[in-house]
């Protein structure tokens, strides 16, 4: 997924003169120009065809033809009253069409399944979340539940006249994106789970493509496109849940690594003389700042011992901690400050390695941000390279539990904007004659 703006374009006159024009090239050029026009309308709309022509360098007749096709694919619409009969309709503004094509992002996490459907402008149409014990239920029943939710939402969208351009599912684990398989998701207890394959058997139109990606990577994209640090081209996203997820935006692009496994912060060893982690290592960052660590410190009377157990009912435990905090229990403040301190220790490593401008905190970190961030910032200032640290701040995410689903929907939108021909034509386009 490349968010950089197109800085060049192919014209429809590429194959004139002496070069060997072939049909395949013309299709490529057309697709590239459709994307160019669609991105311009998406970023700068509402705007007229003339403005699109001026900004893209395409001639107006070409723009008119491209816009017709984008209209036919349900991607662009005209705003306001049409001036019937005027060729090229110079005064009519174009905008993204939100009425027919949407995007569906979903997330399976330890104790819930969530979904967000948006239009092409990222406006939320449906936002759902159900409590679900994905860990206890196992992959098969979890995927059944996911499929049922997807079917219901696609049906609901259909009643609104909207077809999703695709479905992307966020999972907290290592993903093989090419096969749509979860390689391993420790906190779900999954290994080798073919998510895309299962959803292909759901009662959903077969031409809606399904993809799978890492939850924190998708949440990082959501923060980059629409969160508190939107537009910050170097940011790190950290989410505090039962596990600790991380996603890195570097130079405006998601850092994937060779296999899409980059940003796996949870099991970085941060205290070689610390506690055992349930992964078998000692002193993983997760043992210091995961929800289990907070629960253990904030509610020692209710903790599941000191062993490497999972936190059952995370949302319930967090609610209890917030309740005790409201009642003035000093152990909550102390626990959050200790989490903040270890968060700062790990953040110093991240700042030295990634030199981000912002570290966005999601999950439970965001819920207790006012307690966690001061301690984290103080520790970071002490341990990080000062020149990089001075220019980096923590920020609490305001996307809540929807961050990963929103990022997943964003990936679908991005794909549609990059290749408008992936959206099928419902009505034949009206190709206007050249001006």
| 121-129, 258-266, 367-375, 396-404 -> range binding a second copy (CB under 8 A) | 258-266
Among 355, 378, 421, 422, binds a second copy (CB under 8 A): 355
| Least distance (Å) between residue 4 CB and a second copy | 10
271 binds a second copy (CB under 8 A): yes
CB count in 10 Å sphere of residue 223 = 28
Q: Which residue has the tokens 């949870």?
A: 266
Among 211, 291, 345, 371, binds a second copy (CB under 8 A): 345
Among 122, 245, 260, 363, binds a second copy (CB under 8 A): 260
Nearer to a second copy, 280 or 328 (CB): 280
| Least distance (Å) between residue 198 CB and a second copy | 21
Nearer to a second copy, 92 or 183 (CB): 183
CB of 133 within 8 A of CB of 315? no
How many whole angstroms separate alpha carbon 235 and alpha carbon 250? 7
383 binds a second copy (CB under 8 A): yes
Instruction: Return the residues of window 32-71 that contact a second copy according to CB under 8 A.
Output: 32, 53-54, 57-62
How many whole angstroms separate alpha carbon 197 and alpha carbon 395? 37
| Least distance (Å) between residue 150 CB and a second copy | 27
How many whole angstroms separate alpha carbon 32 and alpha carbon 25? 10
Range 295-304 contact pairs with CB under 8 angstroms and sequence separation of 24 or more: 295/321, 297/331, 297/334, 297/335, 297/338, 297/339, 298/324, 298/329, 298/331, 298/332, 298/335, 298/336, 299/324, 299/331, 300/331
CB of 187 within 8 A of CB of 242? yes
CA 318 to chain centre: 24
Q: Residues 154-193: x/- map of binding to a second copy (CB under 8 A)?
A: --------------------x--------xx---------
428 binds a second copy (CB under 8 A): no
- Looking at the DSSP bridge assignments, the partners of residue 391 are none
| 73-81, 160-168, 221-229, 347-355 -> range binding a second copy (CB under 8 A) | 347-355
201 binds a second copy (CB under 8 A): no
Nearer to a second copy, 95 or 388 (CB): 388
Whole-angstrom CA distances from 375 to 6, 339, 401 are: 41, 8, 24
378 binds a second copy (CB under 8 A): no
256 binds a second copy (CB under 8 A): yes
251 binds a second copy (CB under 8 A): yes
433 binds a second copy (CB under 8 A): no
DSSP 251: T
| Least distance (Å) between residue 287 CB and a second copy | 14
How many whole angstroms separate alpha carbon 424 and alpha carbon 412? 15
357 binds a second copy (CB under 8 A): yes
How many whole angstroms separate alpha carbon 428 and alpha carbon 414? 24
- DSSP assignments along 113-160, one per residue: EEEEEEETT--EEEEEEEE--HHHHHHHHHHHHHHHHHHHHHHHHHHT
261 binds a second copy (CB under 8 A): yes
Among 111, 119, 234, 286, binds a second copy (CB under 8 A): 234
Per CB under 8 A, residues contacting a second copy are 8-11, 13-20, 25, 32, 53-54, 57-62, 174, 183-184, 233-234, 246, 248, 250-251, 253, 255-265, 267-269, 271-273, 281, 345, 348-350, 352-357, 383, 385, 387-388, 391-392, 435
């Amino acid at each position: 997924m490349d968010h950089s703006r197109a800085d060049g374009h192919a014209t429809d006159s590429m194959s004139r003169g002496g070069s060997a024009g072939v049909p395949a090239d013309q299709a490529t050029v057309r697709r590239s120009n459709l994307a160019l026009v669609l991105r311009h309308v998406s970023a700068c709309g509402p705007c007229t065809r003339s403005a699109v022509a001026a900004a893209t360098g395409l001639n107006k007749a070409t723009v008119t033809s491209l816009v017709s096709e984008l209209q036919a694919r349900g991607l662009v619409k005209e705003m306001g009253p049409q001036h019937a009969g005027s060729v090229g309709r110079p005064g009519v503004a174009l905008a993204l069409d939100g009425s027919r094509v949407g995007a569906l992002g979903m997330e399976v996490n330890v104790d819930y399944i969530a979904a967000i459907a948006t239009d092409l402008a990222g406006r939320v149409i449906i936002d759902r979340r159900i409590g679900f014990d994905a860990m206890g239920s196992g992959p098969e029943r979890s995927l059944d539940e996911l499929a049922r939710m997807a079917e219901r939402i696609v049906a609901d969208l259909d009643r609104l006249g909207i077809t999703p351009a695709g479905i992307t599912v966020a999972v907290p684990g290592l993903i093989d994106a090419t096969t749509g398989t979860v390689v391993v998701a420790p906190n779900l207890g999954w290994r080798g789970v073919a998510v895309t394959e299962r959803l292909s058997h759901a009662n959903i139109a077969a031409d809606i493509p399904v993809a799978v990606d890492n939850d924190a990577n998708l949440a990082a994209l959501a923060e980059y496109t629409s969160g508190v640090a939107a537009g910050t081209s170097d940011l790190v996203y950290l989410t505090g849940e039962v596990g600790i997820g991380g996603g890195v935006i570097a130079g405006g692009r998601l850092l994937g690594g060779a296999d899409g496994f980059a940003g796996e912060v949870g099991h970085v060893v941060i205290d070689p003389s610390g506690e055992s982690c349930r992964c078998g290592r000692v002193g993983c960052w997760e043992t210091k700042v995961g929800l289990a660590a907070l629960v253990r410190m904030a509610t020692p009377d209710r903790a599941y011992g000191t062993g490497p157990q999972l936190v059952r009912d995370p949302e319930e435990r967090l609610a209890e901690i917030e309740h005790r905090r409201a009642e003035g229990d000093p152990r909550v403040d102390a626990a959050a400050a200790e989490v903040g301190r270890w968060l700062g220790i790990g953040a110093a490593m991240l700042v030295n390695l990634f030199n981000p401008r912002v570290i966005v905190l999601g999950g439970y970190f965001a819920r207790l941000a006012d307690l966690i961030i001061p301690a984290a910032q103080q520790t970071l200032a002490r341990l990080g390279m000062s020149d990089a640290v001075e220019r980096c701040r923590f920020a609490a995410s305001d996307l809540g539990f929807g961050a990963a689903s929103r990022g997943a929907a964003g990936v679908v939108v991005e794909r549609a904007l990059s290749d408008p021909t992936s959206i099928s034509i419902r009505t034949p386009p009206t190709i206007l004659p050249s001006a």
